[in-house]
Structure 1
């Protein structure tokens, strides 16, 4: 299993929107960055990702599971872009803010700190555990 972080602007698609989709999940559409698309191509069914509210909250607020591998993005007319489908698994009892991540020395190399603008990011197993603990899980 691999771990990831998926960013969404809450005004476009929020954690509450994701939770409301239930077990059917939702395609993670709209990604228009080659590096992010290539990361989605690496995702497997069963991989987990932090759901990150960008812009206003700047915080990991929940966990999603990949339930369908990368497939053509239905919002793309060019045929270049792909998306995975994810479903909500669990809310973090305490959102883990970008500020909290930056204040944690063990997370100083996390993609969230290093490649701030990338909307799909890998997360190491150690980073995953630290963010879970910070968010009140485990």
Structure 2
């Protein structure tokens, strides 16, 4: 399966993954139920497009791979974390995290406007009006289109 995960680069960027290519990075802080459910659906070795958002240069930055599937997000239990959830209980956690490792950084960012212009990506949740999910599935044909765009940049 293929995925697209949005991140703010100052929080976790493709460069963070590239700087420690053999070290897993926890993908935590997802606080939307639909996005959480998608996160929970990720399986071992699934590939993930890392998408930089809420920054000056918005777009696809590279690829990571799932190395640990969904487990309770530790930040939900940490009162010092911005992702703390006082209503979440250890015996029945609300939120999940996965671990990812670096696969590839694209030579250049694939900008959102380029993705929006592709007729082959019209069904991609990322380009749908009002879609704000931070975790979303990507169909195999969409994955191939976006990889081809990344290789052209």
TM range (shorter): over 0.9
Structure 1 spans left out of the alignment, 5+ residues? none
Structure 2 spans left out of the alignment, 5+ residues? 78-87
In structure 1, C-alpha distance between the alignment counterparts of 2:120 and 2:16, rounded to whole Å: 31
Match of 2:117 in 1: 103
Give the TM-score normalised by structure 1.
0.93
CA RMSD between the two structures = 1.2
Instruction: Give SS of 1:23's match.
Output: coil
Q: How does 1:57-96 map to 2 (within 5 A)?
A: 57-77=57-77, 78=88, 79-96=93-110
CA contact (8 A) 2:25 2:101 kept: yes
Of residues 124-133 and 54-63 in structure 1, the stretch that sits farther from structure 2 once superposed is 54-63
Following superposition, which runs of at least 4 residues in structure 1 exceed 4 angstroms of deviation? none
Instruction: Give SS of 2:75's match.
Output: coil
Match of 1:130 in 2: 145
How far does residue 22 in structure 1 lie from its aligned partner after superposition? 2.2
Match of 1:49 in 2: 48
Match of 2:22 in 1: 23
How far does residue 80 in structure 1 lie from its aligned partner after superposition? 0.8
CA contact (8 A) 1:94 1:134 kept: no
